[in-house]
Amino acid sequence: MVKILHHRLLLKSFMFLFVCTAMGFAAQAQTLSDRVSDKAGRKMRLGFKLDPGVSMMRPQDDGVERNSGRFYFSYGVLADFFLDDQGNYALASGLQVSAMGSVLKYEMGKGLSAFRNSPSEYDLRLTYIEVPFTLKLKTDTESGIGIWGQFGGFAGFPVRARANVISGLQRFDKQDVLRDVNRLNAGMIIGGGIEYPLTETLTGVVGFNYQNGFIDVTRNSKWDDGRVNMNNFILRLGVYF
Mean pLDDT, each 10-residue run in order, the chain (241 residues): 40 41 40 45 91 96 93 98 93 98 96 94 98 97 93 98 94 96 97 95 97 95 94 98 93
Q: What's the farthest any 2 CA atoms get from each other in the chain?
A: 104
Q: How far apart are CA 234 and CA 221, in angstroms?
A: 30
Give the torsion sign (CA, 217, 96, 152, 66).
positive
Q: Which string of b and e fits 126-142 if b means at least 16 CB within 10 Å?
A: bbbebbbebebbbebee
DSSP code of residue 237: E
116 bridge partner residues: none
**Is the Cβ–Cβ distance between 143 and 171 less than 8 Å?**
no
Indicate whether this model's pTM tops 0.85.
Answer: no
The torsion defined by the Cα of 165, 167, 171 and 172, in degrees rounded to 10, comes to -50
Q: How far is residue 156 CA from its own chain's centroid?
A: 14
**Is the Cβ–Cβ distance between 148 and 193 less than 8 Å?**
yes
pLDDT score recorded for residue 42: 78
> Which residues, 6+ apart, have CB-to-CB distance to 95 below 8 Å?
76, 77, 129, 130, 131
**Residues belonging to the chain:** 241
94 bridge partner residues: 78
pLDDT score recorded for residue 39: 53
Residue 234's SS3 state is strand
pLDDT score recorded for residue 114: 93
DSSP code of residue 75: E
pLDDT score recorded for residue 142: 86
Q: What are phi and psi of 17, to 5 degrees?
A: -65, -40
pLDDT score recorded for residue 237: 98
Query: Residue 46's CB: how many other CB atoms inside 10 A?
Result: 12
pLDDT score recorded for residue 5: 37
